[in-house]
Structure 1
Amino acid sequence: MATTQRKVVVFPSKNELYEAMAKYTANLSAKFCKEKGLFTVVLSGGDLIDWLCKLVQPPYIDSIEWSKWHVFWVDERVCSWDDPNSNYKLAMDGFLCKVPIPSQNIYAIDKHLASDGNAENCATLYEECLRNLVKENIIPICAKTGFPQFDLELLGMGPDGHMASLFPGHNQINEKEKWVTYITDSPKQPPKRITFTLPVINSALYNLMAVCDKEQAHAVAEIMKQNKPLPSAHLSAQVENVWYLDQAAASML
């Protein structure tokens, strides 16, 4: 597995954190578009989409090579695309509809299976999608781990220390073989979800964990002080594992 050290940056305000996220993402986009002609980005749900607001403003909206982006989800709620709980809907309404990424480069959960509520089949089909993109040389395989390697994953953390849909006290965090797994009893509604497994998350070249607000401060402190093995404490990356915190999230450090 990856061995990168965690880098922590605390920002005086949310606005400065949002600006830093945009700059970080835009710089990596430029790097990978130049080096290999495409950029694979993994999104999470929750407030993260709102925090990407600077990317749809100058100078980023006009300078990023959006046509070369390939967009994925680290986890998804098993519900219809137009359900308010859908991470796809959240990202589409708040971010993706505002940038010219080709629709064929946006890899959402299967629309029909999601509407049917079959979490296991949704996970299987999403993994098949990833495997096909490996064959098409869109996603490489990490030489160190043998799992798909995304360029950048933009992640968030819940107050309980969960990331993606890997929750404390649930076995999905221990999955070592599958690329995508599922959960039907999530402690956070809705209960049915699919999620990247930890080996996939940690095979990314760059992982950016953004955490804002005081509700997350206790979990942040537990992770940074290595007091509890919460799911987000296991986050690593092949090149860089960076945490962006606002003052409230860092208030218990």
Structure 2
Amino acid sequence: MDLKIYRNKQEVAEQFSSYFVDQVKDKGTFHVALSGGSTPKIVFDVLAENFSDKVDWKKIHFYWGDERCVPPSDDESNYKMTVEHLFSKIEVPKENIHRILGENDPKGEALRYANLLEINLDRVEGVPQFDLVILGMGDDGHTASIFPHEIELWDAEDHCVVATHPDSGQKRVSINGKVINMAKEVAFLVTGASKEEKVKAVVDKTEGSDAYPASLVNPSSGNLVWFLDEEAAAELNQNPS
């Protein structure tokens, strides 16, 4: 685990963007699973502003680790947010954007997306392998859309699962833990004071932390990077990068 701690959310976004560009360069086709949330939104802004002409976007294929079951025009759609903050500002072929169809029946869509991953990605031990999976973490310790009350979905047989938000009851389609941990590289983007308690629990593996899905992120590659701001890392004994 590699912990990178920066002053604030903006600096996290800038440093992660540089890391992302380094991951992509000198490689052929690159398959990445994106995350929703406020920090990725800033990352997308930085990528669009600073790197739009410095990256060969034609070789990057974009997927999502999870999506809310809403139409792509809905303000809650992770896809819509990515279009507004990144895709509308860079030259990326439409066929490189593989969205989860949130407007479709969730169970059928989970099956379709799992099948798409199996077709498009190399498989290791039968599991589709991303080059990079970007994750966030909720105040409750959830990641992708695997929530503590449904932690059994982490080890689900199917590569994609239908999850239910514990408060709103909203359905979501999410990749499972096996797909996350099979990725060549996994990066957490976590910012804000509301995350500090769970960051400490997950990073320091405190007692009971295995109840949080984020604590189960342990890629077999060994390549796990945390990008944190000082607020989220406040309870860790670390110095800023």
Change over 3 Å in CA distance of 1:152–1:188 after alignment to 2: farther
1:170 aligns to what SS in structure 2?
helix
TM (norm. structure 2) is 0.90
- Residues 10-53 of structure 1: per-residue CA shift (max 9 Å, x gap): 11222221111011100011032xxxx21111101111332312
Shift of 1:210: 0.9
Matched, 1:164 2:144: yes
Picking from 83, 106, 121, the partner of 1:119 is 106
Picking from 28, 33, 55, the partner of 2:47 is 55
Shift of 1:178: 1.1
Shift of 1:174: 3.8
Q: Distance in 2 between matches of 1:18 and 1:40?
A: 20
User: Is the 8 Å Cα contact of residues 123 and 194 (structure 1) preserved in structure 2?
Assistant: yes
Q: Distance in 1 between matches of 2:47 and 2:170?
A: 31
Q: Distance in 2 between matches of 1:123 and 1:196?
A: 8
Q: Distance in 2 between matches of 1:239 and 1:51?
A: 27
Aligned to 1:187: 166
- What amino acid sits opposite 2:48 in the alignment? V
Picking from 106, 109, 117, the partner of 2:100 is 109
Aligned pairs for 1:55-204 (under 5 A) are: 55-58=47-50, 60-110=51-101, 114-116=102-104, 118-133=105-120, 139-142=121-124, 145-183=125-163, 185-189=164-168, 191-204=170-183
Q: Distance in 1 between matches of 2:167 and 2:123?
A: 32
Pairwise CA RMSD: 1.6
Aligned to 1:235: 217
1:182 aligns to what SS in structure 2?
strand
- Residues 61-111 of structure 1: per-residue CA shift (max 9 Å, x gap): 21101011100000011111101111111111111211111111100123x
Structure 1 residue ranges (4+ consecutive) displaced by more than 3 angstroms after TM superposition: 171-174
Which segments of 5 or more consecutive residues in structure 1 lack a partner in the other structure? 1-5, 134-138
Q: Distance in 1 between matches of 2:154 and 2:133?
A: 20
Change over 3 Å in CA distance of 1:121–1:241 after alignment to 2: same
Picking from 22, 42, 49, the partner of 1:27 is 22
Q: Distance in 1 between matches of 2:155 and 2:170?
A: 19
- What amino acid sits opposite 1:232 in the alignment? A
User: Is the 8 Å Cα contact of residues 151 and 213 (structure 2) preserved in structure 1?
Assistant: no
Aligned to 1:17: 12
More deviation, 188-197/81-90: 188-197
More deviation, 239-248/186-195: 186-195
Identity in percent: 29
